[in-house]
Structure 1
Amino acid sequence: MSKSVAIVGTRGYPSYYGGFETLVRELSPYLVERGWNVTVYSRKGAVEVDDPHRDPRVETVVTRGVESKSLSTLTYGLTSAAHAARKRPDVALVMNVANGFWLPILKARGIPTIVNVDGIEWERAKWGRAAKTVFKRGAQLTARFGDQLIYDSHEIGRRWSKEFKRDGNFIPYGGTIPPQLDPVEGLAPRSYVLMVSRFVPENTVEEFFSAAEALSRDWDVVIVGSSGYGGELDQRAQDLAEGSARIHWLGHVSDDEKLFSLWQNAGAYFHGHSVGGTNPALIQAMACGAPIVARNTVYNREVLSDAAQFVEPQSDAIAKAVDEVLSDRRLQMELSAGAIERQGDQYTWEGVCDLYEQLLVSACAGTAESTRSR
């Protein structure tokens, strides 16, 4: 008899917004192929019903919520959890500790839960005091009511073990290896620096923008991303692009082929994320063979090992490190090959999806034993 899983806490399927959505795009068809009935809870307007990449065997349920920076996750999580409680799947895969508030709803119906805790949200600078309090309380409730936890990095697992006395399962993200793609029009291969990031302070966006002004004297600079809600950083990106013909702000890019081409042909990819564990965009950049310059953090070093150049979060240091990579074709080749090898050894979607299914099966069986605890 087939098993059923409800996936709660993402924007839906298929969505191209962030890491959770990338995971759902890979995991949902994988589980269907293995006989699972998969229901993904979605937000209104967040997915295209006629998306050619959508697997029609994956059921999507659109629920209501408040679309705002601070209330979206909580309100959509509540309506999704309430619907799933009525439907009673064999197991619920819940994304984001903010949804820890709604785990008792699922527990009351006897539905085992597996929670991907994501990063340490209450330390992100983009959130105000109230939002940070909500995330911290959600984490406490997740630690209390979540049957099994998933951490996407070993360091996140150590933080949870220390702060919440909960062990869990290490399951990172995977990468898709693309074919050789043509460069994006107007950009010569290996002659531009690329940044792909949500515009929030902890992603070193402001420091990179300052570095971009210096770098643009000799190199093209390509910026992909936005805040999602407008604001000072979006305005700064627009001003940079309008002030220099060599700075290109593309906004959010949902076309995977275009994004993969940007990574594949970049002369340097700057990854400035400082919190959040294993970053899906970083894994995909590795799969595309981008020569990587990364902010020096415990998370980035865990993922990249020696397959990158590491830099402190100062604009002068970023500009210097990026310029060195852009100026040295041999170094570019070494970093590119190292990134591809590291991703292939440690971060594949086949391996990731297999670990998720193992955990889902064990939860349905009532054992919920860790597939890979640290």
Structure 2
Amino acid sequence: MTKSVAIIGTRGYPSYYGGFETAVRYLAPYLVDQGWDVDVYSRRGATKPEDARLDPRVNVRYTRGVEMKSVSTLTYGLTASLDAARRRPDVALVMNVANGYWLPILRAAGIPSLVNVDGIEWERAKWSGLGKAVFRRGAQLTARYGSNLVFDAHAIGDRWKRDFNRDGFFIPYGGDAMTPGDLDPGLVPGDYVLIVARFVPENTVPEFLEAAKIIARKHDVVIVGSSGYGGPIDDAAKLLDEQEPRVRWLGHLSDDKRLAALWQNAGAYFHGHSVGGTNPALVQAMANKAPVVARDTVYNREVLEDAGVFVQPDPAAIASAVIDLISDSAKRQRLIERGSERAESIYSWERVCASYAEALDVTRQAVAVR
């Protein structure tokens, strides 16, 4: 008998926007291979239906929503949940606690839910006071109505146990070594610093942009990412690209081979994420043998352990750490080897997808009402 799952809360399949979307690109075809009927709720314009890697066995369902930063997740989550309630899959995989508002709809339809709670959204600097309150209330509703929960880091699970008295499955994001393309012209392997991040304050992007002015006196700097909506950090990156000959801002990249080449040839990769749990870009950097300098947080220490250099979110400290790492080839090699080992043993996509399949099976067979 075919099992069915609806995936709600991402931009869709296939999409390259962020961690949720990356996970779905790997997970949806995997579940089909395991005998699942998979519906991925999607936003028109946010997916690439012409992508050659699109698996035609995955059902892409489009619903309407309001494409604005403050309400897009809520509106698309609502329409997707209403459609799923009508179609009645065996289980729903729901991404993001903002969709906790719509879990009662799924429960009323008898659909058990597995909810990836992501990071501690209500503490992110990018949200207004109202936005933080919306996420906090969404988390409370997720704790009440979610059949089972997924935490992408043990530290996130500890926080949910303390704040909401809920346990769940530990399933991190994955990262596999990718086949690289050609390195961007003009870059020298091992002699440039790379950052890959969404442009939000808690990812330490403003501090890195200041550090880049110092780093660029000795080494090239490559900046990958954007806010997705424009804003002051994008403006600052653009200005830096124009004024500093050794700084390149590439914007958001969806070319995996180009990203792989950038990671695999970097002299140092800076990872400044501070609020989430296991970050996909960090795991991907480890899998692709980039030597990592990371902002010192409980989440980054959990993922890296002894496979990284940790710094405070200070421009001078960041610049000093990456310049020192580039100059120490033995240390770089040690970090590369340790990071690659951890990525393969803990964070491979095969392991991650298998864990999701098991958690969905458990949730599918559970009683939806707590």
- TM-score over 0.5 for the alignment? yes
Contact 1:192 1:266 in 2 (8 A): yes
Q: Which residue of 2 aligns with 1:187?
A: 187
Aligned length: 368
Aligned residue type for 1:142: T
Give the whole-Å Cα distance in 2 for the aligned partners of 1:183 and 1:237. 21
Partner of 1:103: 103
In the alignment, the residues of structure 1 paired with residue 174 and residue 233 of structure 2 have an alpha-carbon distance, to the nearest angstrom, of 29
Displacement after TM superposition at 1:338 (Å): 1.2
Distance 2:102 2:367 in 1: 22
Partner of 2:365: 365
2:198, 2:48 → 1: CA distance? 22
Return 5+ residue gaps in structure 2 as ranges.
none
Partner SS for 1:110: coil
TM-score, structure 2 as length reference: 0.98
Q: Superposition pairs for residues 146-295 of structure 1, below 5 Å?
A: 146-179=146-179, 181-295=181-295
Where does structure 1 lack aligned partners over 5 or more consecutive residues? 369-374
Name the amino acid aligned to 2:190: R
Distance 1:239 1:364 in 2: 51
Q: Does 1:307 align with 2:307?
A: yes
CA distance in 2, matches of 1:123, 1:347: 26
What's the counterpart of residue 27 of structure 1?
Answer: 27
Q: CA shift at 1:183, angstroms? A: 2.1
Find the counterpart in structure 1 of residue 43 from structure 2: 43
Q: Which sits farther off after the overlay, 312-321 or 181-190? A: 181-190
> C-alpha offsets along residues 180-229 of structure 1, whole Å, 9 cap, x if unaligned?
55422221111100000111111111111111001101100000001111
**Secondary structure at the residue paired with 1:262?**
helix
Instruction: Supply the AA of the counterpart residue of 1:11.
Output: R
SS at match of 2:293: strand
Equivalence for 1:372:
none
The SS at the match of 2:125 is coil
Distance 2:193 2:46 in 1: 30
| RMSD of aligned Cα (Å) | 1.0
Helix, strand or coil at the partner of 1:60 = strand
Structure 1 residue 367 displacement after superposition: 6.7
Q: Tell me the distance in 2 between the aligned counterparts of 1:246 and 1:131.
A: 37
SS of 1:48's equivalent in the other structure is: coil
Q: Distance in 2 between matches of 1:49 and 1:344?
A: 30
1:284-303 deviations in Å (ceiling 9; x for gaps): 00000000000000000000
Q: Does 1:325 align with 2:329?
A: no
Post-superposition CA distance 1:110-158 (Å, at most 9, x none): 0000000000000000000111110000000000000000000000000
- Report Cα offsets for 1:313-348 as digits up to 9, x if no partner: 111100000000111222211111111011111111
Distance (Å, rounded) in 1 between the aligned partners of 2:182 and 2:232: 33
Offset of 1:53 from its aligned partner?
Answer: 0.6
Q: Within 5 A, what are the aligned runs for 1:53-132?
A: 53-132=53-132
Q: How does 1:2-21 map to 2 (within 5 A)?
A: 2-21=2-21
Tell me the residue number matched to 1:144: 144
Shift of 1:260: 1.1
Matches of 1:48 and 1:179, distance apart in 2: 21
CA contact (8 A) 1:95 1:115 kept: yes
**340-349 or 110-119, larger mean C-alpha shift:** 340-349
Q: Secondary structure, in 3 states, of the residue corresponding to 2:253? A: coil
Identity %: 62
Q: Secondary structure at the match of 1:37?
A: strand
Tell me, in whole angstroms, the C-alpha distance in 2 between the residues paired with 1:255 and 1:301.
28
Asked if the contact 1:181–1:264 (Cα under 8 Å) also holds between the matched residues in 2, the reply is: no
Normalised by the length of structure 1, the TM-score is: 0.97
After alignment, is 95-104 or 173-182 more displaced?
A: 173-182
CA distance in 1, matches of 2:261, 2:335: 17
CA deviation profile, 1:18-43 (whole Å, cap 9, x unmatched) = 00000000000000011100000001
| 2: CA distance, partners of 1:7 / 1:113 | 10
